[in-house]
């Protein structure tokens, strides 16, 4: 909150921000809620929340005044007037048109900035993790690693993808996970060529690859990992593709460091896959930031020309997907440092044949 207030102060003393998204409200107040408004300027932060949350927010929301929501937009207008606000930044990627129209109805003499300036400020702040945030993500990843090792004993031919997906979810949630990071991916055989396939009724067979992409949440912070295992045996082609993805992923972890751009980070894995002739089958970007959301700034991709900063957490998840045949993906999370990165994922990467 203090960092946001400092940034707003640098823009000018009559600048304020209105935050409406659950993830940003949670990030700045450390208080999870499904509804509410956060009005911030360089001096003050006010969290307007309704009767469902008011008591808990009063006890635990950080770095803000907590106010009971009555007529939200009338309250927002009054606050902005008291702040002598002339310029209001809003979350361009998150504010709905309904909320924007309500705001325009009350913020008559205020310039409402609908460009990406607030999102850029917030993405930048969120991307660099504090030690407390890194600890939450490490704790979430620890459960996720333990879940993978459990799954290596659990998966047997004849089980369906859905049974495997449910076991992943049950294990993570019954070992301390607060929530699932996203809908768990557990796919097998030909379905592994779909990077985000949905677990179905297909039974696991010998000679299948099984790809598991999953994660859980601790303290509001997400983990994310992927491993691909083979069942019974792997053909030479499966081994060759697996080895290519493993070498690419390891090259990514070895090479990542502060100062590289997102494009250069992406190239660390893509170059290995392209050199070995599978470039056309690596159909997504190398990685993404992870924090209070599963996908956040920065990305390791052709579209991010910004340098990586120490303390950012990104996934490194190259994959090869051969349509109609099979696919392989290996994903770790890593903290960027000045001289390299710290891999937060500790599960093995050699090909495991169950
Ligand atoms: Mn991911």
Q: What is the CATH number of the domain that holds 41?
A: 3.40.350.10
CA–centroid distance, residue 56 to ligand 1 (Å) = 32
- Which H or E run contains 58? helix 54-60
CA–centroid distance, residue 136 to ligand 1 (Å) = 17
CA–centroid distance, residue 31 to ligand 1 (Å) = 25
Same structural domain, 169 and 99: no
Q: pTM of the prediction? A: 0.94
pLDDT of residue 7: 98
Last residue of a domain, which of 96, 127, 158? 127
CA–centroid distance, residue 37 to ligand 1 (Å) = 29
Nearest alpha-carbon partner for 223 in 180, 170, 183: 180
CA–centroid distance, residue 71 to ligand 1 (Å) = 40
Same structural domain, 103 and 136: no
322 inside domain: yes
Same structural domain, 245 and 179: yes
pLDDT tens-digit readout, 90-102: 999 999 999 999 9
CA–centroid distance, residue 287 to ligand 1 (Å) = 7
Same structural domain, 199 and 291: yes
Supply 323's token pair. 């349509």
CA–centroid distance, residue 331 to ligand 1 (Å) = 7
pLDDT of residue 65: 97
Residue ranges of the chain whose pLDDT lies below 70: none
CA–centroid distance, residue 54 to ligand 1 (Å) = 35
pLDDT of residue 333: 98
Cα torsion 267, 268, 270, 273: sign? positive
pLDDT tens-digit readout, 23-56: 999 999 999 999 999 999 999 999 999 999 999 9
Count of all residues that appear for the chain in the document: 354
Which residue shows structure tokens 């090909």? 351
What residues make up the domain containing 171? 131-343
Whole-angstrom Cα distance, residue 45 to residue 248? 45
Q: How much is the mean pLDDT over the chain?
A: 97
pLDDT of residue 108: 87
CA–centroid distance, residue 224 to ligand 1 (Å) = 5
CA–centroid distance, residue 144 to ligand 1 (Å) = 13
């Amino acid at each position: 909150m203090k960092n946001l207030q400092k940034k707003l102060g640098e823009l000018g003393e009559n600048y304020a921000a209105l935050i409406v998204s659950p993830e940003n409200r949670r990030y700045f107040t450390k208080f999870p809620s499904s509804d509410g408004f956060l009005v911030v300027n360089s001096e003050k932060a006010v969290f307007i929340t309704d009767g469902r949350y008011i008591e808990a927010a009063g006890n635990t929301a950080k770095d803000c005044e907590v106010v009971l929501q009555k007529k939200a937009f009338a309250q927002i207008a009054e606050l902005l007037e008291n702040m002598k606000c002339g310029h209001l930044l809003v979350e361009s990627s998150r504010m709905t048109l309904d909320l924007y129209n309500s705001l325009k109805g009350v913020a008559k003499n205020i310039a409402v900035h609908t460009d990406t300036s607030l999102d850029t400020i917030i993405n930048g702040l969120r991307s660099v993790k504090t030690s407390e945030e890194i600890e939450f993500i490490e704790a979430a990843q620890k459960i996720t690693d333990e879940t993978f090792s459990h799954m290596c004993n659990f998966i047997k031919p004849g089980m369906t993808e859905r049974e495997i997906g449910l076991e992943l979810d049950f294990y993570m949630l019954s070992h301390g996970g607060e929530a699932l990071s996203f809908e768990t991916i557990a796919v097998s055989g030909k379905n592994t060529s779909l990077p985000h396939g949905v677990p179905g009724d297909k039974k696991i067979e010998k000679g299948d690859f099984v790809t598991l992409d999953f994660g859980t949440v601790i303290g509001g912070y997400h983990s994310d990992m992927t491993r691909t295992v083979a069942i019974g045996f792997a053909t030479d082609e499966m081994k060759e593709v697996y080895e290519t993805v493993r070498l690419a992923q390891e090259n990514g972890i070895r090479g990542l460091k502060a100062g590289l751009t997102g494009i250069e980070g992406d190239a660390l894995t893509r170059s290995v896959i392209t050199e070995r002739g599978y470039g056309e089958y690596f159909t997504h970007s190398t990685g993404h930031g992870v924090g209070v959301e599963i996908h956040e700034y920065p990305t390791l991709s052709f579209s991010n020309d910004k340098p990586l900063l120490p303390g950012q957490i990104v996934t490194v998840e190259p994959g090869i997907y051969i349509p109609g045949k099979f696919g392989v993906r290996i994903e770790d999370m890593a903290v960027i440092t000045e001289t390299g990165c710290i891999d937060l994922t500790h599960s093995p990467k050699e090909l495991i044949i169950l």
